[in-house]
Amino acid sequence: MSEPAADLRRLVNGYQVSQAIHVAAVLGIADLLVDGARGSDELAAATDTDPRSLYRLLRALAAVGVLREEDARRFSLTEVGEGLRSDADAPIAGWAAMIGRDYYWRAWGALLHSVRTGENAFRHVHGADPWTYRATHPEEAAIFDRAMADLTRRSHASVMAAYDFGRFDTVVDVGGGNGALLASLLPRHEGMRGILLDLPHAVRAAESVFAGAGIADRCEAVAGDFFQAVPGGGDAYVLRAVLHDWEDPECFAILTNVRRAMGPAARVIVIERDLGPANALPDAKFSDLNMLVAPGGCERTIAEYGELLARAGLELEESHAAGFGLHVIVGRMC
């Protein structure tokens, strides 16, 4: 097979790799290999799986560099596979566990419908948006919250290195899920206070997250809807991976409510990907497709985020590149 055709075939079969990694994440294989190599039969006993089938899964993952197969059907983690550990510095396990869920997989299966019609695939398949669906499926909400917490933990160090949050006394995390960002930010800044705003089912776990980070006495979790109102009193209003979930009219509504809550010296801090130029940044381009399939929003360029801010009566003050393709986009009152 010619090299271009081989490359194309690998891309076509990428779903097989993602599903294999999903299964390994759900089974917790990486955590079982923390102390070194173990045999596939031993791993099968620990995960209550069929020994022969598990071995076939493990050797496939070893062939793509997630694991390493050693003698006597023993397996160990590679540097790539370390990201599937629950205690990894840059964890991927939560995301891997979510993307293979049947409801999410089925939404991606309707990508053709979205491309043909411009309609959101998730709503087409499930008859509801992802937030409404997960509110009525608490087991899926818990898996999603873990995925979002993992992604936040994966990127927070680079975000906080890219921008000085220490100038703020009170940070409002708008749409911040279970509070993972505040749980990372506040321990770095003694005296800083945090306010978390999200839907009731999302903030339910915030109390334990804040307690685990030792910041429960400095944080308040507010159950609410950012389309209705945003808490006042903040010096900084953080929107991390929020605006890309929505089309422009919804983003305008969110930013307008943020602006109404802001004092004259407050800042709005948007943490999102930069869609970037043509023929580059595939992570951003495929994340954009994910927005089409699931939440119904889109990824944008830095300039387009500036335009959204301007529509809401704000202006782009500065932008800083962080790791993992993210940017810290800072807006202020005009």
Which residues lie closer than 8 Å to 201 by C-beta, 6 or more apart? 134, 135, 138, 141
Which residues lie closer than 8 Å to 157 by C-beta, 6 or more apart? 184, 323
Distance CA 267, CA 328 (A): 12
Give me the sign of the Cα torsion angle 140, 176, 121, 93: negative
Active site annotation includes 126: no
Amino acid sitting at position 103: Y
**How far is C-alpha 252 from the geometric centre of its chain's CA atoms?**
22
Q: H or E stretch including 94?
A: helix 93-99
Distance CA 3, CA 9 (A): 10
Distance CA 26, CA 199 (A): 26
Q: H or E stretch including 54?
A: helix 51-63
Which of 22, 156, 189, 244 is labelled catalytic?
244
Residues labelled as active-site residues:
244
